Structure 1
Amino acid sequence: MSDLPSPTYSILLVEDNPADAELVRERLKDASGMSPFHITRASTLNEALTILHSTPFDVILLDLNLPETNGLETLKRIRSANSAIPLVVLTVHEDEPLALEAIKLGAQDYIPKSSMNAVLLARILYYAMEREKNERIRRDSERKYRLFVDGATGLAFIMLDLDGKITHWNSGAERLFGYTEDAALHKHFSILFTAEDLRTGRPETELRRAESLEKGDDDNWLVRADGSRFWASGAVTAIRDPNDKLIGFAKVVRDKSAQKDTSDKLAELNRTLEERVIQRTQELTRNQERLRAMASDLTVTEQRERRRLATDLHDYLAQLLVVCRLKLSQGQSISDKETLLKVIQEADTLLDQSLTYTRTLVSQLSPTCLYEFGLHAALVWLGSEMGKQGLTVTLKSTDETPTLPENQAVLVFQSVRELLYNVLKHSGVNEVMVNLSLQQDNHLLIEVKDFGCGFSENPEERNAQSPTHFGLFSIRERLEALGGEMVLHSARQKGTQVLLRIPIEHSTEDLQPRLVKPVPVQAIRKTHASRPPSEKIRILLADDHKMVREGFCHILNSQVDLEVVGEAEDGKQAITNCESLRPDVVVMDLHMPGMDGLEAIRRIKQQIPETVIIGLSVYDTPDVARWFQEAGAEAFVTKGGPAETLVTIIRKFSHQKKSA
């Protein structure tokens, strides 16, 4: 294995005495086994400064006594020219105080000329270069450390002495805590802790734990200079010298307020979520119990209603028909005309009572007017029916009631009816308001409000008061199934307000009479064929029930001045027969399949305006008469009324038309 060449070290020798300079050269040559030295001599300080300006050296060997300067001043000027090169001082005699002052000013070592030998001189130069090298490494390491510590603005690096006083305070600590370096240095680090932690002795506990465990990690609240608190993650580390002696502590702090806030919010969200899960589970359990109870209650209610209907049909309607039949049988054996007429009138009264009961029963089972005339008309009818039971209903509508699909209209009607019955049974008052309004977000709002006794809005208390009452629960569930909602406001002795809100769906299957586009009158009139004059009043009957048409035909044809010239079973057929037969009078039923009576009346009045039209319906409410009148009919007759009424009205309006 070959020997590597030894490095050559360059020395700047600053010496005015040639003999002393030569002595130094000789001593370094005699240093056998050591790396060679290359010596450059400067005899004056200015020469040395000039050489240093242009040439690098590994070490400077300086005589303090030069012609133009003397003592420590020489050292100061050389160090000011280049402080990075290690420097050894040459003295004439062993002057210990002077040597110590030189070392304080930056010299690595000193050697008296009188005791200088080759080995000592070479060793001192080597040691000086190594010490300077190590010092340079230390300074560079410290510089990098400070750059790292001061550059980490998100972290607070704090050095503490054994007593816990602050000896180092980086820019991150200044930013995080708000104390400047001057304000923080030499203060006890307990200024960073909360009052609660100070009372429990937390600062001392952290130091002692770090001393025993070398490092202690913890998360806790710390305090800024302005008194505000923040959540911090910190660690205290014990610092020891090479002999394992404790010399201080280092504390690193990071602001974790954002993480703490996020963690707290997440914990709160989890807690809230758990509460909501428990609440929803309890609500679901209650709803299941309600549904089971309601299913049972519905079964019982269905059977009760079946029994009630059967009883009513048997005890009332069937008895009326039995008596009527007995009257008719009695009439077969009566020869006296006046007595027979009286029996017939009694039978007619019984039949009228039967028809009235039947109409009432049909309306209760299924509100026919809802399907024929729409929601508003059905609510008007419902108000009149409730009035018969002692409850005055005031119906108000801010806008025209919109057209609703069948499922929505039926739901709203049934809900309002249920609420009105609740008012009738439980409120203790005889008046209620029902308000309809169309909201801007295309929702229909129905308000049912009374000023009765009210009740508690607490569900559990309300259920305890009425454990088998499921009306409100049923309404809410059905509304929510269609995207709506029910809002209830009630207080004892202050009345109850129920708001039903439902989105309006667009559907072609509406529940209101449809308007038809007017047909040009003149274009139709050109197709009318002339008919021969007749002394009888020509009548067209339009009704979808054949037996009804046959009954009216028999009655009308029995009159000497009346003649039924045609029949129709729906609105379209009535229009066609009007065009071909040109009757004087049309008796038009309200409800027929396909095109209903109101639409047919409008169309006929557009095509043949001189035709007299008389509306016909089983309903006898004022609204039905108004609808017929608005469509263009001259009059309205109920099917259950006396036949003479229809005959009289036909003659009246036919004669008025001819006279005009």
Structure 2
Amino acid sequence: MDEPQNPMEVRETVWAGQWIDSTTDYAIFALSADGRVVSWNPGGEHIHGYSREEILGRPLSVFYTHEDCRAGVPENVLCEARKTGRYSGEGWRVRKDGSFFWASVVITALRGTSGQTLGFGKIVRDMSDKKQAHDAVVESERRFRLLVHGVTDYSIFMLSPEGNVTNWNQGARRIKGYTAQEIIGSHFSRFYTPEDAAAGLPQRGLETAAREGRFETEGWRVRKDGSRFWAHVVIDAIRDDDGTLVGFAKITRDISERRETERALDETRSALLQSQKIEAVGKLTGGVAHDFNNVLQVVRGNLEVIESRLGRDSWMRERLDKAIDAVERGAKLASQLLAFGRRQPLQPVVINLATTLRNMDDMLRRSLDETIQVETVVAGGLWNTCADVHQLENVILNLAINARDAMPDGGKLTLELGNAMLDDRYVAGLEDVPAGQYVVLAVTDTGVGMSPDVLARAIDPFFTTKPEGYGTGLGLSMVYGFVKQSGGHLRIYSESGHGTTVKVYLPRSTASAVEPSSPVRMPLRGGRETVLVVEDDRKLQSTVVDMLSGLGYTVLKADDAQQALTIIRSGVQVDLLFTDVVMPGPLKSPDMARQAVGMLPQIKVLFTSGYTQNAIVHGGRLDDGVELLSKPYSREELARKIRRVLGTQGVELETTGNGNVEHDSTAPGSLRVLVVDDDAGSADAVGALLEMLGHRPVLHRSAERADDALGVQEFDVLLTDISLPGMSGIDFAIKAVREHPHIRVVFSSGADAPPARQLPFSWRALRKPYTAEDLRRALA
């Protein structure tokens, strides 16, 4: 008879059965010793899809995939449970409908009192959602590892808390040159330069990252082959959930190219700023240079006229010299500004710098103190260059004077000439400096030198370290402007206390050098030619007329280009057109000059200006065949330039005791001349010629108005055009001689004169265009 059961045990068994039968989240069922299903709960039906009737008696393998069945997984699971008493694991299982789910399985062996296996209890839970999330994390981590490993533009690796490398990606290998096997386990300080490592920079980076969570910097790093690169570095501290430091993540990027680009951009910005500065100064200079030099010309011209007409006592001489010297200083100031702004008209010729330097030897030694030793070194086979000799001499003199001022206690000045080749690598970061062959002038002093701040501003206009009153700050600015305008390059090397070297590079010329002409003191020469002065500044015009008259020339004047062409069309002989470059009105001076040459092919043209703009200067150089006399100029410069343009010796001027020019004694006596010409420009020109010949002209535009003048005034000569509005010149001459028998008649016309027998009185004719000498003979 069976022993009665303990009521408590009975109650627990009932409760367990009720829990199993009511659970749907877990499949809880029993298996026989050979692995067949012998019980089933609602959870089993919910998870596996089988009803109780469908599954009882079926083998355990029904829940496994075909692959697992072929591999004997169901049998192995039961074997393990039978052997150890328990099996737990996860894997894919199959539902009734053939779908898969990820199952968490626990199988417990059920044993009898003697230890034999009676069967198995199995609990199954559907873990598909957790499996999916887990797989997503695993996949994400896998992809992240692939991503990090596959990045080649960034060096990404981990460090231990001590700074040892624990992993290594492809970017790190590419940037730093080490393989993972070569570097893992090494301390990351090996990537730093020796000086940075000695200064403790690696450790400070880790300490900052550990303290603040992140450290970011830029600096030089070293590759495996010893080469350096500029790196952007980020170190992030890595901590676990408890906040314990477990290491560092380090990202390094090679930004050498970006740094070089930024450097080039900075240089470009600096060059642009310098270019804008030059442009601004150039515009400012150009805007005022014309008017400023006109003023200087008026002052200088009048001073020299006064000098030529007044006595030359020592008191007067001293003050005139001081005034003229002040004008020259003002002219030099304007010239330096124009040179810096690259607006100085250059007249380059092919020269050998060695010859130029030798010719300046005496001038340089006079400009320097006796305490300064001068040495000139010229390399053999020196190339030629093309430059404006006068401006180049100013450059050399400016550099020598700057060197002198830098050596107040004496020193050594070395002027060295040589050949140089500037290659593509040298000129890569320079603006407007083409690669090629250059002649280089190096001026070196042993003076006080320049600090980096001073050196950076050395060529700025008006910047100077000299005391007030000892310099304008335009010396190096002028040198820089001249060199750039000549297509060259300027480089300054200096250090405080160690002197300065200024190197001027001028492009090589393969043409033959022009032999410089030796300056010979020639007597002042004027002439008897006719000069048409075209100048809109009335005061300057008057001054120039006085200067030219004092040199013996017959002078006509015009206020603008249109008026000048009117005078030329009138038929008056003009030998030289002396015109300002910058003129008001729609017709520009160069165009006027071209039209004048078209009408009078023998006419010569001389331009003058305080600022040429781009009218006759292109690329910084005077146009071919153009003659220019820059304002302000002296009386002697004017005289010599005019003779050179006209191409003849002219007349050597003699002066009276008070300095006045002695004019030709063959000039006729003063005559009262009635001029009749309907062209206002022609009438004005004839009137000016008559005044220059010492006569007294009265001008009228018609015969009728001239006839009225004859009624109230006596005239010695009637100078009339033949073609006039209203009464013709011939009819008016007949009437004038009939009423004033003493008057002499001269016909002036571009057409043929009347036949000699046609008129009842004697007369002379002037065929337009005629010269001042022709007019003088007609009136003699």
After TM superposition, is the score higher than 0.5? Answer: no
**Max radius of gyration: which structure?**
1
TM-score by length of 2: 0.35
Could you tell me the TM-score, scaled by structure 1's length? 0.40
Question: Bigger relative contact order, structure 1 or 2, given CA contacts below 8 A and separation 6+?
Answer: 2
Q: Which has the higher helix share?
A: 1
